[in-house]
Each structure stands twice: as structure tokens, then as C-alpha cells.
Chains A and B, each alone.
Chain A
Amino acid sequence: MSHLSSNNIEMELTLDSLKNIQKLDVPEYIEAKIRSRIREMDISPRWVIGIAASLALFIGVEIIIVNMEARERENNVLEAIVPNQTFDIYE
């Protein structure tokens, strides 16, 4: 029992030496690195939104063009079958 408690005291003393570890100052460049990471973080969502909006616009315009071309093609086919008459298949 006394052996156990002396071990405990010894360990306490060993652990007490940890308070001698010196506290260090933070290097100045850490702040600059954090600032730069935060700046990137703030900018990146705007880029993502911008790219997504451009992509949506491009797809939208593409769909309209494809539809118009399909409509024109079908009109041309109908006009070839019945000449001298204008058709609009969606009317």
C-alpha cells in the first residue's frame, strides 16, 4: 500500500514538472495565412454561384434553339408535302 502511494506521489511530482513547459508566441505569418484562407473561402461561393448561373443560362438558350430548329424542320416537311401553304404545327 505504501509502495503504491509513494508511486502515486512520484507520478504527481513528475506531472508537476509539466508546468515548466514554456508558452510560445504565435508566429506573425499565421495571421496572414488565416486571412488568405478566409478570403478564398469568402470568394469561392460567389464563383460557384456565377458558374452555375452561366451554365443554367447556356442550357436554357440551347433548349430554345433546339426547339426552334425542330419546329422549323417539321414545318419544312409539311410545306414540302402541301406546297403554297404555311403551316405551324403548334397552332
Chain B
Amino acid sequence: MKEDFLTIYHTHKGLVYNLALQYVLSIEDAEEITQDVFVKVYEKYPTYRNDASLKTWIYRITINQSLDFLKSKKAQKRGFFFDHIALDNPESNIQLPTFNHPGVVLEQKERLEELLKAIYRLPENQKTVIILTKIEQNSIKEVAEIMDLSEKSIESLFQRAKKNLAIILNNNKGI
């Protein structure tokens, strides 16, 4: 198990760390999530069934861990009631994280920072579709497998995400 685990860690550490970073936009938080994900992988590996590939399974754990992390962070900052409103309404004034993403290159920093912060404000599923397709460069088919949804649902989530992003970005321009 120990040897297996080390192989799994070295094969997937980049995926986990970078994926978590796209969700939380802060390297400190991404490091914490990476640790949590691999501790969970170590714990749950004996019960892992081969109905999804190992990569898909690790993707799912990372996504859930990142979303849980964001939820707990939001819950700490605001009341439970306001937290639920925010998740359903992309236009609501969600508190944005302190942006600390070294993967964003300097010449595009401002534009990408604005875009990533807009993605941060999307509802969970829409956010995941954008991150997996546009940042992680997965195909719609792969995203459907990771999210355990049909390809049609992914397409529809993607369209809604684009619409909501346009609203958020336009609102930001107006400020």
C-alpha cells in the first residue's frame, strides 16, 4: 500500500494541486487541500472500486474537497443563511479571496485575475465545468465522466456558465 500510495502521489500531485488552485485562487489554500486530498486517498484507497479510472476518482475527491473548503470558508465569513443565497445567485456580492495565483503570467495578470474571480462567483457545477474544460483542457466527454453527468448536461451547464460570466464581467465593468 505504501509503495502504491507514493506512486499515486507522484503521478497525480500536479493535477490535484493545480486543480485546487483554480478553485481557491490561493497557493496556501491549495497546499492545504492537496494534503487533505492525499490523506483521503490514502484512507479510501482500500475501498476504491475500479468503476471509474483512478484519475477520475482523484479528480472527484479534489473537486469535492475544494468545494467543501470554499463552503467552510464562506460559512466562516458569513451566516449560514447568506451562504445559501450566494450559491444560487451568481450576481450576489460573494466575498472574493485574496488573489495569490502564481500560475497567472504577468502580462495577462489583470485580465485573467478578473476572469478567475468571476469564475469563483459562479454556482458550483458551472464553476467546475469551466475549470475542467477551459483551464484543465478536458473534453466534454471526460468532464461528463468526472462529474457523473450526461454530456448534454455538461453542454447546458457550460452555456449557463458563459451567460452568468458575461453578466458578472459586465457588472464589474459598470463598477
Interfacial residues, chain A to chain B (CB-CB below 8 A): 7-8, 11-12, 14-27, 30-31, 33-34, 37-38, 41
Chain B residue contacts of A38, Cβ below 8 A = 39, 42
Bound-complex Cα distance A34 to B5 (A): 11
| Contact among A7, A12, A22, A27 for B103, CB-based, below 8 A | A22
Interface readout for B13-28 with A: 1 if CB under 8 Å, 0 if not?
1100110011000010
Chain A residue contacts of B149, Cβ below 8 A = none
Interfacial residues, chain B to chain A (CB-CB below 8 A): 9, 13-14, 17-18, 21-22, 27, 31, 34-35, 38-39, 42-43, 101-105, 108, 111-112, 115-116, 130, 134-135, 137, 162, 165-166, 169
A-B contact count (CB 8 A): 78
Closest chain A residue to B165, Cβ basis: A11
Do residues B13 and A17 form an inter-chain contact, with CB atoms below 8 A?
Answer: no
Bound-complex Cα distance A34 to B18 (A): 17
Do residues A37 and B130 form an inter-chain contact, with CB atoms below 8 A?
Answer: no
Closest chain B residue to A27, Cβ basis: B31
Interface of A is mostly: helix
Chain A residue contacts of B105, Cβ below 8 A = 20-22
Do residues A24 and B39 form an inter-chain contact, with CB atoms below 8 A?
Answer: no
Chain A residue contacts of B162, Cβ below 8 A = 8, 11-12, 15
Bound-complex Cα distance A3 to B90 (A): 23
A18 touching B112 in the complex, CB below 8 Å, given contacts A26-B14, A31-B9, A41-B43? yes
Do residues A15 and B14 form an inter-chain contact, with CB atoms below 8 A?
Answer: no
Bound-complex Cα distance A38 to B87 (A): 33
